[in-house]
A and B are shown apart, each in its own frame.
Chain A
Amino acid sequence: MGKVVLVTGVAHWLGARFAGQIAGQPGVDRVVGVDAGPPPAALPFGVEYAQVDLRRPAIARVIAEHEVDTVVHLHVTSLGHGGRALVKETNVIGTMQLLGACQKAPGVRRLVVKSTTAVYGSAPRDPAVFGERMQPKALPAGGFARDAAEVEGYVRGFARRRPDVAVTVLRFANILGAHGDTPLTAYFRLPLLPTALGHDPRLQFVHEDDALEVLRLAALDAPSGTYNVAGDGVLLLSQCARRLGRPTVPLLRPALGVVGRLARQLTAPADRAFSQEQLQLLTHGRVVDTALLRGTFGYTPRWSTSEAFADFAAHVKPGPLPPARLTAVTDRLTDLLADHRPTEPEELRPR
């Protein structure tokens, strides 16, 4: 008998794509997608849909009814309809209900939870590179990062109570790609990028294909544990802005906070671009170590941070200063210098 996989949060693109991929895997008999709303239009082939509000105990019935053995909990997001209170409730209460249901279901053998590297926070006094075993100096002050930290706490409790279940927590760096719909992509889509004066944070991205692949491996047979998931290398915020061709507007950090508060009164996507924890990220940055992912887990991301970012950049409208145009100007000037010099043209060589 093959696996029966329950996927939460299939209304979101990541959940939908993951459910579609896992449904086509050999050894997977059934995939049950769960979300709060009516069946999403883009539900992939081979995925059964169960409309369950995670905050209600009804999820236990779905798990028992379908004899689920693998639970992939992707419904831990920073986004959602109905405001921050509802999102928090879905993230935290939803996870508690789901874990409660799993605890009562003897058939569950494997649990995969999507988390975020935001659980490490962003602070100037932190180590430059976070490893999985480092404890953040303080619990994130609020927002999605706090939700994720609390969710991880409940998952650790569950792992203690059900040692027979293989529990994998995946801490994803900011996911980028063609579909990207996160607070960070909302920020990068702004025509001008407000930044914190005197700070150039280090950012790390993971491509959505890599994210899906890591989830797939974790749901099938990869070793359990907690893993950071991020592409190789880092990009500075200033590099990101220049590669997008978007001018930055450096503001004093308090002024940036005011801009953020004003923006949160606006409509989407500007309101999402300046959440409190994103402002922290855009000030202090965050980099994680992925040695465990490569070693123990056994997966090397195929996209580096800068490649993932390039793929994202290719799918957004370029800003007013596209790099190609700037390159054209400097190359033209370089050529003029070469033209002007009649002798020794072979010496002119870009370093």
Chain B
Amino acid sequence: MTAAREPADPAAKVIPIESAPSWSGPEPRPALADRLADGVGAALSGQLGATATRLLGKGWEQRAAGGLGFLRRRLTGDYEVDDFGFDRELTEEVFLAMLRPLAEKYFRIDVRGTEHIPADGGVLIVANHSGTIPLDALMTQVAVHDHADRHLRMLAADLVFVLPVVNELARKAGHTLACNEDAQTLLERGEVVGVWPEGFKGIGKPFADRYKLQRFGRGGFVASALRAGVPIVPCSIVGAEETYPMIGNFKTLARLLGLPYVPITPTFPWLGPLGAIPLPTKWTIQFGEPIPTDSYPKDAADDPMLVFNLTDQVRETIQHTLYKLLVQRRSVFG
């Protein structure tokens, strides 16, 4: 307890020049802090405390104390991030807490097959991409954390790391650049890595092409999984396609802004910021059976035929699961 300083002994008032109060000296603040503390203490034990208990429910002090601890660690920089900039505490306490209502209440996500995500060790989750804004990736992160108790480390487009603010948030939430080096490092460290290999082709496709998987890049993700010898879990996401039905694309504006596309949806840009609200569709996230890669020889990642075959296998699995889930679906908003 550093704040509960003894009141200064009157005899100790003579201050030698060497230790005269300076900016670094603790003298001026505790007095103020003490006064403040006494005031707050008095208020809490009086009427205010009772009111707070009535308003905030029992045990609010404990929650407030937890919040203060969090605040202290944040203010003093006393927390850890990993080499990729992943801030576990911030992700759990803030990012996931903010996204969770969206996942549970708004999209009412039905998460299936989480038993296919191993409790530890590296695994590569490959999913279909849709919905104009990568909400599907963020929702998968919530699902993996809440249902499998793992942190999903996403491989994101380089655009994410060029934009200010977005790059900072993405790094802190555990995402990194979609490149072979990063993917392999994370997989070898035993992380759950998520990749959306369709990229902008998938997320920015017209509404008419919904649930039709686009090309799966060059299969770099399969090579990374092969090198690390980790299983690939195909993941099919239904519902995200209809959140922002993209009926058009401002191609000229997109080229001007250096963006891959600028969407036109039934509500955007006509309703202004209101148009940015996603439609409340009902989602299903289905994790499929893992495809093992550890049975292949060491240099399998350098065999393009094998990489292409595995890529196709993953793509087919996701596409078939999507069709199966769509047949089962009663309504887009149900």
A interface, CB within 8 angstroms of B: 124-129, 131, 134, 196-200, 202, 233-236, 238-243, 253, 285, 287, 289, 306, 317-318, 320, 322-341, 347-348, 350-351
Interface string of B157-177 (1 = CB under 8 A from A): 010011111111001100011
Minimum Cβ distance to chain B for residue A329 (Å): 6
Minimum Cβ distance to chain B for residue A283 (Å): 9
Minimum Cβ distance to chain B for residue A200 (Å): 5
B64 near A337: Cβ-Cβ < 8 Å? yes
A selection of 12 A-B contacts at a CB cut-off of 8 Å is A125-B177, A129-B185, A198-B166, A200-B168, A233-B83, A243-B77, A318-B24, A323-B75, A325-B29, A330-B69, A334-B65, A350-B69
Q: Which residues of A contact B33 (CB under 8 A)?
A: 328-329, 332
Q: Which residues of A contact B217 (CB under 8 A)?
A: none
Q: A287-B83, A322-B24, A330-B71 given. 9 additional CB < 8 A pairs?
A: A198-B168, A234-B82, A234-B85, A306-B80, A317-B24, A336-B44, A337-B65, A338-B61, A340-B61
A125 near B44: Cβ-Cβ < 8 Å? no
Q: Which residues of A contact B177 (CB under 8 A)?
A: 125-128
B interface, CB within 8 angstroms of A: 1-4, 23-24, 26, 29-30, 33, 37, 40-41, 44-45, 49, 59, 61-62, 64-66, 68-72, 75-85, 87, 158, 161-168, 171-172, 176-177, 179, 181-182, 185
* Docked pose: A330 CA to B74 CA in angstroms: 11
A128 CB contact (under 8 Å) in B2, B24, B68, B85? B85
* Docked pose: A203 CA to B76 CA in angstroms: 17
A202 near B83: Cβ-Cβ < 8 Å? yes
Q: Which residues of B contact A289 (CB under 8 A)?
A: 185
Who on chain A is nearest to B26 by CB? A325
Interface of B is mostly: helix
B23 near A320: Cβ-Cβ < 8 Å? yes
Q: A128-B177, A239-B79 are in contact. Are A334 and B69 (CB under 8 A)?
A: yes
A326 near B65: Cβ-Cβ < 8 Å? no
* Docked pose: A254 CA to B56 CA in angstroms: 45
Q: A124-B161, A199-B167 are in contact. Are A330 and B72 (CB under 8 A)?
A: yes
B77 near A239: Cβ-Cβ < 8 Å? yes
